[in-house]
Amino acid sequence: MDGHIGSRNSLKESEESKEYDLTVAIVGNPNVGKSTLFNVLTGKSVHVANWPGVTVESKEGVKEWKGIRIRFVDLPGIYGLSSLTLEEVISREYIVSGDSELVIGLVDATSPERSLYLPIQLLELTPNVIIVFTKVDEMNRLGIHIHFDKLEAMLGVPVIPTSALHKKGIRELLDTIINISNEKKRIKLVNIDYGGLESFISDISKIVAESKTLKNYPLRWASIRLLEGDKRLEDLLTSNNELDILNKVQSVRDAVRRSIGRDPAELIINARFRYVSNITKEVVVRVDKVSSYEHIVDKIFRKPYIGAGLSLVLMLVSLLLVFSVNTGFPLNLIMRYIGLQEVGELIEFYSLNSVISEAFNMLSNQIKSSIYWYNPLLASLISDGIVIGLGSVISFLPLIFMTFLILAALEDSGLAPRIAISFHNLLNKFGYSGNAVYPLILGMGCNVPAVMSSRTSVDDSERTQMIFSAPFIPCQARLIVASALIAAFFRNPLLQALALLTMYLSGIFMYLLTGKLVRRAVCRISDKPELILELPLIHFPKVKVLWWIAWDYTKHFLKKAGLIIFTLSVLVWVLVNLSPSGMTADVNEGFAATIGNAISYILIPFDIVGEDSWKIAFALIQGFIAKESVLQTLAVLGESANVDDAVRSLNLTIPQAYSLILLITLYIPCLATVAVVYQESRNLKLTVVQTIYMTLLAYLISILVYQLIKFLMWVI
Amino acid sequence: MSKTLVNAAEGTKVRVIDIIAGQGLKNRLMQMGLTPGEVLEVIENSKGPVIVSVKGVTIALGRGMASKILVDDAQGVQQS
Ligand SMILES: Nc1nc2c(ncn2[C@@H]2O[C@H](COP(=O)(O)OP(=O)(O)OP(=O)(O)O)[C@@H](O)[C@H]2O)c(=O)[nH]1
């Protein structure tokens, strides 16, 4: 069961340390049920990495079955094997590389007419294919019948119906995988009749046969691909000095256009779909079933305004729920307002965040007191540096995990694309497509999932826009800091609400505006991103699937960003405890205090001067690690057990407090976000520029706002 | 007779004639089943993106995208 995990290098066939006997690649359309099947097949032994040099993720896992260790490699979700997207190129190159003995081509049993297209294309490239139908449970419900045996006979490769959700067909699949390697069933590739194009294909075959570059590819396949126009193969020919071959191919393509009058790619794709539909006509029977409740829900969510409104309410409620479970906020405040003071405190006390931080504080104190006698410095390093650092990674987790749960529920239920549709027109005005709604919503929970949700976009430039701009969305941590400042310095409830509202609006506005700016100025694209989205039937999300998706994302975050956060937390400990004259126990003497003092002049434009200013400056620096720590730091420096008192003791005016809220909202949210921006963009320069951009912008805007309010108040 | 998908009435069936877009977008749509000659059912077409059903799959297309798809009426034509 627990097979070893093949290392990423094993993609390049490292013979000496093979930890598996057989490699099977899995290919399928987006949303076909690939992740679910992969999870069921490999269990927990999954290794996640990126394909070399790109941000596309690769997953592999090993499953031992009847003594044979099968390594599954999950290829990116794709619609075809042309080379128009990075995902297609990766999948194709991997299949051609021969690293895998077998390829599983997935077909969505609820839409075989469309999804059989990809496996048929596979069969043009390699005969070692197993066709696996997913979601057969759903198929039965929808009144679709498929003659799997007949299909098997027609195609000459194994066809296995499965339902990953009900663990049906998994044994059969594993058995087939082991047996097929003993006696390969199919030796020849599928030959689709391309009709009028056949003579052109044979012309190109003669040309391609002379190419050294393309001899790794099946001749007929490469010829068809070149006739269709294949960026990747053309680049290969160009870079290997076979331009003459490319030119000859081009002239054949021109001849097709002249004699038939249409684009060869269109004719070829059409012919392939005709081949598919000739098969499905024989093996698929659809019996119309009466519309189920899903269809009715579907209809409601499809209506432009009703759908958008409903989704918005749904998401806000889930976010509030997450907030409350995580920190008790804002449920505790509501309870307090309606007079249930004690209930409010209970909620706050038993919230996840407080339980976790309490646990780590206890652990930290325990360690400190037990090894203090041995070496005070070591005790402090372990308890204040390492344990608290670990604690800050872990206390992030509940919020991140729960926000991922929302994302998972949106994805799994089929609501996500519908929400994207409702917001497409609005977001399009800012150079985004409807997909940009995910960072917007998730960001209010936590910016880490928001940045990661950029993966939903198929437009590279839009992905960059999302990664770059998502950290502007005010997350829960900022909400907490802002609320503390508002509660301390704003008396009027109307002003309080106004301050909170404008804080959100400014963050969202910057997200939108920056997106447009990045598209225009950085990516230099003037047209708007298009929206092409598949809409699966709406269904109630399945807990198991939610757990998989959310845990997958969280693990990813922990691995990549956890180490960075931890290291920097320890670094901060060093800064706090190291003084020019060696280690120090006094916070006021450390390098951190020196830095705080040195930069406290940045607060002069806010008229914040005097002895307390360095505390705010230092708290702002701490805010780079995590926004919550702004309050924590103020409490520690104010030598006050109660955060509210500590904040109040700063004696800020309303304009000062408000501009500080804006500053805190708009500058870089936390280290975790910086880490994830790097992880998603794989671009150090972009990450640095982003951090500087946000910080500078936040500073300038808040100064401007402060001076403006001051001026207005003076006029009045 | 021909028009773009944006002008197709809700509830009708239309046949794709051509897709006037760059190679990337065009191929993506075709691989998703929107090939010339294919019959689409227009499920939703009012304010937001146009929603069509093709080969048993429901697909939403932004209005910009939809305006690049030339179609003609296919009332009474058997869906292949
Ligand atoms: N009824 C049913 N639904 C399934 C089954 N397997 C997957 N699904 C659903 O299909 C949807 C897509 O599943 P995923 O596993 O995320 O699909 P994927 O191919 O990895 O999709 P991407 O993550 O978009 O690439 C989810 O809503 C699943 O709940 C199944 O066996 N039966």
The domain spans of chain A are 10-182, 196-260
For residue A603, what are the CA distances in angstroms to A503, A620, A659, A661, A693? 20, 11, 11, 13, 19
Q: Which amino acid is at A386?
A: I
A438 in Cβ contact with A468 (< 8 Å): no
Q: What is the DSSP letter of A611?
A: T
Q: Which two tokens stand for residue A621?
A: 């620096």
Q: Which of A27, A60, A19 is nearest to A41 (CA)?
A: A60
pLDDT level of residue B80 (50, 70, 90 thresholds): very low
Report the separation in Å between the CA atom of B44 and the middle of ligand 1, taken as the mean of its atom positions: 25
Contact (CB<8Å) A80/B25: no
Cβ neighbourhood burial of A570 (10 Å; 0-12, 13-18, 19+): middle
> A196-260 has which fold?
Helix Hairpins (1.10.287)
Phi-psi region of A339 (alpha: psi -120 to 50; beta: other; left: phi over 0): left
**Can you tell me which residue has the tokens 């990809």?**
A118
Q: What is the pLDDT of residue A12?
A: 42
Report the separation in Å between the CA atom of A545 and the middle of ligand 1, taken as the mean of its atom positions: 8
> For residue A134, which atom of ligand 1 is closest to its CA?
31
Helix (H, G, I), strand (E, B) or coil at A310: helix
Nearest-angstrom CA–CA distance, A572 and B14? 64
Helix (H, G, I), strand (E, B) or coil at A540: coil
A329 in Cβ contact with A479 (< 8 Å): yes
Nearest-angstrom CA–CA distance, B76 and B80? 12
Residue of A114, A286, A302 lying closest to B57 (CB–CB): A114
Burial string for A54-87 (b: 16+ CB within 10 Å, else e) reads ebbebbbbbbbbeeebbbbbbbbbbbbbbbbbeb
Helix (H, G, I), strand (E, B) or coil at A297: helix
Q: How far apart are the first and last CA of chain A?
A: 75
Three-state secondary structure along A88-110?
A: HHHHHHHHHHCCCCEEEEEEECC
Alpha helices of chain B — where are they, by DSSP H?
23-31, 63-66
For residue A615, what are the CA distances in angstroms to A302, A590, A631? 52, 13, 11
DSSP codes joined into one string, A108-175: ETT-HHHHTHHHHHHHHH-S-EEEEEE-HHHHHHTTEEE-HHHHHHHHTS-EEE-BTTTTBSHHHHHH
B46 contacts on A by Cβ (under 8 Å): 304
DSSP codes joined into one string, A397-462: HHHHHHHHHHHHHHHHHTHHHHHHHHHHHHHHTTT--GGGHHHHHHHTT-HHHHHHGGGG-S-HHH
Contact (CB<8Å) A433/B62: yes
Q: Which two tokens stand for residue A374?
A: 């041995």
Average pLDDT over all residues of chain B: 86
Nearest-angstrom CA–CA distance, A572 and A562? 15
DSSP codes joined into one string, A313-364: HHHHHHHHHHHHHHH-TTHHHHHHHTT-HHHHHHHHHTSHHHHHHHHHHHHH
Nearest-angstrom CA–CA distance, A614 and A74? 52
Nearest-angstrom CA–CA distance, A522 and A497? 36
Report the separation in Å between the CA atom of A535 and the middle of ligand 1, taken as the mean of its atom positions: 13
B57 contacts on A by Cβ (under 8 Å): 111, 114, 534
Q: Hey, is the C-beta of B56 within 8 angstroms of any chain A C-beta?
A: yes
Peptide bond into A158 cis (omega under 30): no
Q: What is the pLDDT of residue A184?
A: 55
Q: Is A164 in the pocket of ligand 1 (CB under 6 A)?
A: yes
Nearest CA in chain B to A278: B80
Q: Is A110 in the pocket of ligand 1 (CB under 6 A)?
A: no
B36 in Cβ contact with A270 (< 8 Å): yes
Q: Residues B22-60: pLDDT tens digits?
A: 888 888 899 999 999 899 999 989 888 899 999 888 999
Q: Residues A581-599: pLDDT tens digits?
A: 777 766 677 787 788 788 8
B45 in Cβ contact with B6 (< 8 Å): yes
Q: How far apart are the first and last CA of chain B?
A: 21
A84 contacts on B by Cβ (under 8 Å): 23-24, 27-28
Q: What is the pLDDT of residue A183?
A: 60
Q: How far apart are the CA of A694 and the nearest CA of chain B, in angstroms?
A: 31
Which residues is B50 bridged to in the sheet?
Answer: B61
Nearest CA in chain A to B18: A266
**Which of A273, A281, A306, A459 is the best mutation test for B, with the most CBs of B within 10 A?**
A273
Q: What is the DSSP letter of A520?
A: I
Q: Which residues make Cβ contacts (< 8 Å) with residue A99, sequence separation at least 6?
A: A11, A12, A13, A23, A25, A73
pLDDT at B76 over 70: no
Contact (CB<8Å) B65/A530: yes
A666 in Cβ contact with A694 (< 8 Å): yes
Q: What is the pLDDT of residue A14?
A: 44
Q: What is the pLDDT of residue B52?
A: 94
Q: What is the pLDDT of residue A476?
A: 79
Q: Is A424 in the pocket of ligand 1 (CB under 6 A)?
A: no
Contact (CB<8Å) B62/A269: no
Task: Write out residues in chain A with pLDDT < 70, as ranges.
Answer: 1-17, 44-56, 181-186, 289-292, 329, 388-389, 392-393, 396, 560-561, 564-565, 568-569, 585-587, 632, 635-644
Nearest CA in chain B to A302: B44
Nearest-angstrom CA–CA distance, A624 and A630? 9
Longest dimension (CA), chain A: 91
Q: Which two tokens stand for residue A451?
A: 């940045």
CATH tag, A10-182:
3.40.50.300
B38 contacts on A by Cβ (under 8 Å): 273
Report the separation in Å between the CA atom of A40 and the middle of ligand 1, taken as the mean of its atom positions: 12
CA A673 to chain centre: 13
Nearest-angstrom CA–CA distance, A532 and B29? 8
**Architecture of the domain whose range is B2-71:** Roll (2.30)
Report the separation in Å between the CA atom of A34 and the middle of ligand 1, taken as the mean of its atom positions: 6
Q: How far apart are the CA of B19 and the nearest CA of chain A, in angstroms?
A: 10
Q: Hey, is the C-beta of B49 within 8 angstroms of any chain A C-beta?
A: yes
Element (H, E) at A635: helix A628-637
A116 in Cβ contact with A146 (< 8 Å): no
Q: What is the pLDDT of residue A136?
A: 94
Q: Which of B72, B62, B66 is nearest to B20 (CA)?
A: B66
Beta strand ranges found along A601-702 (DSSP E): none
A437 in Cβ contact with A419 (< 8 Å): yes
Q: What is the DSSP letter of A77?
A: P
Nearest CA in chain B to A277: B80
Q: How large is the angle between the packed helices A613-625 and A591-599, nearest 10 degrees? A: 110
Q: Is A36 in the pocket of ligand 1 (CB under 6 A)?
A: yes
Nearest-angstrom CA–CA distance, A681 and A700? 26
Q: What is the DSSP letter of A44?
A: T
- Collect all residues from A whose CB is shorter than 8 A from any CB in B: 79-80, 82, 84-85, 110-114, 117, 229, 262, 265-266, 269-270, 273, 277, 286, 302-305, 417, 421-422, 424-425, 428, 433-434, 458, 528, 530-536
B55 contacts on A by Cβ (under 8 Å): 111, 113-114
Contact (CB<8Å) A421/B37: no
Q: Residue ranges of the domains in chain B?
A: 2-71
B58 contacts on A by Cβ (under 8 Å): 534-536
Q: Is A466 in the pocket of ligand 1 (CB under 6 A)?
A: no
**Which of B55, B69, B70, B79 is the best mutation test for A, with the most CBs of A within 10 A?**
B55
A603 in Cβ contact with A618 (< 8 Å): no
Q: Which residue has its alpha carbon closest to ligand 1 atom 7?
A: A33
Q: How far apart are the CA of B58 and the nearest CA of chain A, in angstroms?
A: 5
For residue A371, what are the CA distances in angstroms to A149, A328, A360, A361, A446? 70, 35, 17, 16, 37
Peptide bond into A330 cis (omega under 30): yes
For residue A430, what are the CA distances in angstroms to A185, A461, A527, A554? 54, 13, 11, 30
Contact (CB<8Å) A79/B31: yes
Q: What is the pLDDT of residue A312?
A: 79
Nearest CA in chain A to B57: A111
For residue A458, what are the CA distances in angstroms to A108, A466, B49? 21, 12, 17
Phi, psi of A609 (to 5 degrees): -135, 175
A81 in Cβ contact with A88 (< 8 Å): yes
Nearest-angstrom CA–CA distance, A332 and A289? 49
Q: Is A111 in the pocket of ligand 1 (CB under 6 A)?
A: no
Q: Which two tokens stand for residue A677?
A: 């921006």
